[in-house]
Structure 1
Amino acid sequence: MKIQTTSNGFDLVLDGRLILRHRSDAPCLFVGQGDARMHMYRGNFDIEDYVIERTPLAHAVVSGSVIAFSAAPGQPVRLTLQMSGDEHNGAIAFRADDAAINRLWVRIAAEQGEHVWGGGEQMSYFDMRGRRFPLWTSEPGVGRDKTTEITFKADVTGKSGGDYWNTNYPQPTYLSSRRYALHVETTSYSAFDFRRDDFHEIEVWAVPDRIELTARPTFIALVEVMSERFGRQPTLPEWVYGGAIIGLKDGANSFERLERIIAAGTKVSGVWCEDWVGLRHTSFGARLFWDWKANDDRYPALRQRIAELEDRGIRFLGYVNPYLAVDGSLFPEAEAAGYFATDESGKTALVDFGEFDCGVVDFTNPEAAAWFAERVIGQNMIDYGLSGWMADFGEYLPIDVKLANDVDAKVMHNAWPTLWAEVNARAVESRGRTGEILFFMRAGFTGVQKHCPLLWAGDQSVDFTRHDGLVTVISGALSSGLLGNAYHHSDIGGYTSLFGNVRTAELIMRWAEMGAFTPVMRTHEGNRPRDNLQIDQDPQVLAHFARMTRVYVHLVPYLKALVEEASTQGLPVQRPLFLHFEGDARTYAIQDAYLYGADLLVAPVSQAGRTEWSTYLPAGADWVHVWTNETFAGGSDVTVPVPFGQPPVFYRAGTRFAALFAGLRTL
Structure 2
Amino acid sequence: MQVQFSPFKDGFQLDFAGQTVLRHDSQCPALVIARGDPSIEMYRGNFRIEDAPCDSIIPTGWRVEDGAVLLLHEGAPVARLALDQAALTVQALDPAFDRLWVHFHAEPGETAWGGGEQMSYLALNGCRFPMWTSEPGVGRDKTTELTRIMDETGMAGGDYWNTNYPQPTLLTSRWLAIHLDASVYSVIDAVDPSRWTFEIWAEQARFELFAADGPQDLVGQLSLRFGRPRALPDWAIGGAIVGLKQGGKSFERLEAFIDAGAAVSGLWCEDWAGIRETSFGRRLFWDWQRSEARYPDLPARIKALNERGIRFLAYANPYLAVDGLLYQEALVSGHLCRKLDSDEPYLVDFGEFDCGVLDFTREESCAWFAERILCREMLDIGIDGWMADFGEYLPTDVRLASGMDAMEAHNLWPVLWAQVNDRALAMRGRQGDAVFFMRAGFSGVSGHCPLLWAGDQSVDFTRHDGIGTVITAALSSGLVGNAYSHSDCGGYTSLHGNIRSVELMQRWCELAAFAPVMRSHEGNRPDDNLQYDSSPELLANFAMWSRVHAHLAPYVRHLCDEAVATGLPAQRPLFLHYPEETSLFTLQDQFLYGADLLVAPVVEEGATRRRVTLPGDRPWRHVWSGVDYAPGTHDIAAPIGHPPVFYRTESAFADLFAQMGGIVTQ
TM-score by length of 2: 0.98
8 Å CA contact 2:211, 2:218 repeated in 1: yes
| 2:81 partner amino acid | L
| 1:41 partner amino acid | Y
Q: Which runs of 5+ in 2 are unaligned?
A: none
- CA distance in 1 between partners of 2:432 and 2:55 (Å): 50
| 2:373 partner amino acid | V
- CA distance in 1 between partners of 2:84 and 2:65 (Å): 13
Superposition deviation, residue 118 in structure 1 = 1.0
Q: Which residue of 1 aligns with 2:151?
A: 155
8 Å CA contact 2:621, 2:627 repeated in 1: yes
- CA distance in 1 between partners of 2:313 and 2:224 (Å): 30
Q: Which residue of 1 aligns with 2:635?
A: 639
Superposition deviation, residue 214 in structure 1 = 0.6
Q: Which residue of 2 aligns with 1:444?
A: 441
8 Å CA contact 2:33, 2:92 repeated in 1: no
| 2:64 partner amino acid | V
Is 1:393 the counterpart of 2:395? The answer is no
Shift in alpha-carbon separation, 1:561–1:65, aligned structure 2, 3 A: farther
| 1:482 partner amino acid | L
Superposition deviation, residue 7 in structure 1 = 6.0
Is 1:522 the counterpart of 2:519? The answer is yes
Q: Which residue of 1 aligns with 2:365?
A: 368
| 2:607 partner amino acid | R
Q: Please, which of 102, 106, 109 is the counterpart of residue 105 of structure 2? A: 109
Q: Which residue of 1 aligns with 2:377?
A: 380
Q: Which residue of 1 aligns with 2:551?
A: 554
Q: Please, which of 230, 237, 242 is the counterpart of residue 233 of structure 2? A: 237
Question: Any residues of structure 2 matched to 1:2-17 within 5 Å, and which?
Answer: 2-6=4-8, 8-17=10-19
Superposition deviation, residue 14 in structure 1 = 1.0
8 Å CA contact 1:418, 1:445 repeated in 2: yes
Q: Please, which of 6, 22, 25 is the counterpart of residue 27 of structure 2? A: 25
| 1:382 partner amino acid | L
- CA distance in 1 between partners of 2:640 and 2:297 (Å): 39
- CA distance in 1 between partners of 2:602 and 2:190 (Å): 30
Question: Any residues of structure 2 matched to 1:173-184 within 5 Å, and which?
Answer: 173-184=169-180
Superposed CA deviations along residues 512-553 of structure 1, whole A, max 9, x for unmatched, are 101111100000000000000000111111111111011111
8 Å CA contact 1:547, 1:645 repeated in 2: no
Q: Equivalent residue of 1:650, what SS?
A: strand
Q: Please, which of 183, 187, 196 is the counterpart of residue 187 of structure 1? A: 183
| 2:448 partner amino acid | H
| 2:307 partner amino acid | D
- CA distance in 2 between partners of 1:102 and 1:30 (Å): 11
Q: Equivalent residue of 2:408, what SS?
A: helix
Is 1:575 the counterpart of 2:572? The answer is yes
Superposition deviation, residue 206 in structure 1 = 0.6
| 2:283 partner amino acid | R
| 1:278 partner amino acid | G
Superposition deviation, residue 174 in structure 1 = 1.3
- CA distance in 1 between partners of 2:111 and 2:229 (Å): 27
Q: Please, which of 492, 506, 509 is the counterpart of residue 509 of structure 1? A: 506
- CA distance in 2 between partners of 1:36 and 1:149 (Å): 30
CA RMSD after TM alignment: 1.1
Question: Any residues of structure 2 matched to 1:57-456 within 5 Å, and which?
Answer: 57-63=59-65, 65-73=67-75, 75=76, 77-85=77-85, 90-343=86-339, 344-456=341-453
Superposition deviation, residue 60 in structure 1 = 1.8
Q: Please, which of 468, 485, 488 is the counterpart of residue 488 of structure 1? A: 485
Superposition deviation, residue 406 in structure 1 = 1.2
Superposition deviation, residue 614 in structure 1 = 1.6
| 1:67 partner amino acid | V
- CA distance in 2 between partners of 1:67 and 1:285 (Å): 57
Superposition deviation, residue 201 in structure 1 = 1.1
Q: Which residue of 1 aligns with 2:592?
A: 595
Superposition deviation, residue 110 in structure 1 = 0.7
- CA distance in 2 between partners of 1:79 and 1:620 (Å): 51
8 Å CA contact 1:91, 1:211 repeated in 2: yes
- CA distance in 1 between partners of 2:495 and 2:55 (Å): 42
- CA distance in 1 between partners of 2:259 and 2:104 (Å): 58
Superposed CA deviations along residues 329-363 of structure 1, whole A, max 9, x for unmatched, are 11111111111111122211111111111111100
Superposed CA deviations along residues 558-583 of structure 1, whole A, max 9, x for unmatched, are 11110000000000000000000111
Superposition deviation, residue 158 in structure 1 = 2.1
- CA distance in 1 between partners of 2:512 and 2:523 (Å): 16
| 1:386 partner amino acid | I
- CA distance in 2 between partners of 1:62 and 1:490 (Å): 51
Shift in alpha-carbon separation, 1:659–1:157, aligned structure 2, 3 A: same
- CA distance in 2 between partners of 1:303 and 1:651 (Å): 43
- CA distance in 2 between partners of 1:406 and 1:283 (Å): 37
- CA distance in 2 between partners of 1:46 and 1:190 (Å): 14
Q: Which residue of 2 aligns with 1:620?
A: 617
- CA distance in 2 between partners of 1:531 and 1:6 (Å): 64
8 Å CA contact 2:415, 2:441 repeated in 1: yes
Superposition deviation, residue 8 in structure 1 = 2.3
- CA distance in 2 between partners of 1:210 and 1:194 (Å): 19
Compare 48-57 and 426-435 and name the one that shifted more: 48-57
8 Å CA contact 1:3, 1:10 repeated in 2: yes
8 Å CA contact 2:31, 2:101 repeated in 1: yes
TM-score by length of 1: 0.98
Question: Any residues of structure 2 matched to 1:528-539 within 5 Å, and which?
Answer: 528-539=525-536
| 1:235 partner amino acid | A
| 1:199 partner amino acid | R
- CA distance in 2 between partners of 1:433 and 1:654 (Å): 37
| 2:540 partner amino acid | A
- CA distance in 1 between partners of 2:475 and 2:55 (Å): 37
- CA distance in 2 between partners of 1:127 and 1:358 (Å): 38
Superposition deviation, residue 65 in structure 1 = 3.7
8 Å CA contact 2:274, 2:291 repeated in 1: yes
8 Å CA contact 1:581, 1:620 repeated in 2: no
| 1:26 partner amino acid | C
Q: Equivalent residue of 1:182, what SS?
A: strand
8 Å CA contact 2:4, 2:16 repeated in 1: yes
Q: Equivalent residue of 2:62, what SS?
A: strand
Q: Equivalent residue of 1:589, what SS?
A: coil
Compare 612-621 and 225-234 and name the one that shifted more: 612-621
Q: Which runs of 5+ in 1 are unaligned?
A: none
- CA distance in 2 between partners of 1:629 and 1:313 (Å): 34
Superposition deviation, residue 6 in structure 1 = 4.1
Give me the identity figure in percent: 54
- CA distance in 2 between partners of 1:507 and 1:551 (Å): 18
- CA distance in 2 between partners of 1:464 and 1:25 (Å): 46
Q: Which residue of 2 aligns with 1:52?
A: 54
Q: Please, which of 610, 618, 621 is the counterpart of residue 607 of structure 2? A: 610
Superposition deviation, residue 64 in structure 1 = 6.2
- CA distance in 2 between partners of 1:395 and 1:43 (Å): 7
